[in-house]
Amino acid sequence: DVKVTQSSRYLVKRTGEKVFLECVQDMDHENMFWYRQDPGLGLRLIYFSYDVKMKEKGDIPEGYSVSREKKERFSLILESASTNQTSMYLCASSLPGAITEAFFGQGTRLTVV
């Protein structure tokens, strides 16, 4: 069974902390994505990557960075967590191309206090 695994289901961090959210996929997918999901706003794309060491900003990259050192792993980094980054974070992966489906992880609910 194909899988996208996010390292934590729930996370509580303090304001100002550096936070790492990890995502691993076992499907050898080139593309990986990070979204955040907030009530009333739907899913918003933070960053995506189409190859190892490649990254591109999505719609709301401010306050975030990413790392893709290996094909299977895509990390989202909150350099200095703030309360407005309290959210559900979803990782996804897909093959390249116009007609491939994306597979999502279960999500990490991050609370910044």
Q: Check binding of 104 to other proteins (CB under 8 A).
A: yes
In the complex, least distance from residue 16 CB atom to other proteins, rounded to whole angstroms:
29
**Distance of alpha carbon 76 from alpha carbon 23, whole angstroms:** 8
In the complex, least distance from residue 107 CB atom to other proteins, rounded to whole angstroms:
6
* Three-state SS annotation for 58-107: CCCCCCEEEEEEECCEEEEEECCCCHHHCEEEEEEEECCCCCCCCEECCC
Q: Check binding of 41 to other proteins (CB under 8 A).
A: yes
Q: Check binding of 27 to other proteins (CB under 8 A).
A: no
Residues that bind other proteins (CB under 8 A): 4, 31, 33, 35, 40-45, 48, 50, 56, 58-59, 90, 92, 96-99, 101-107
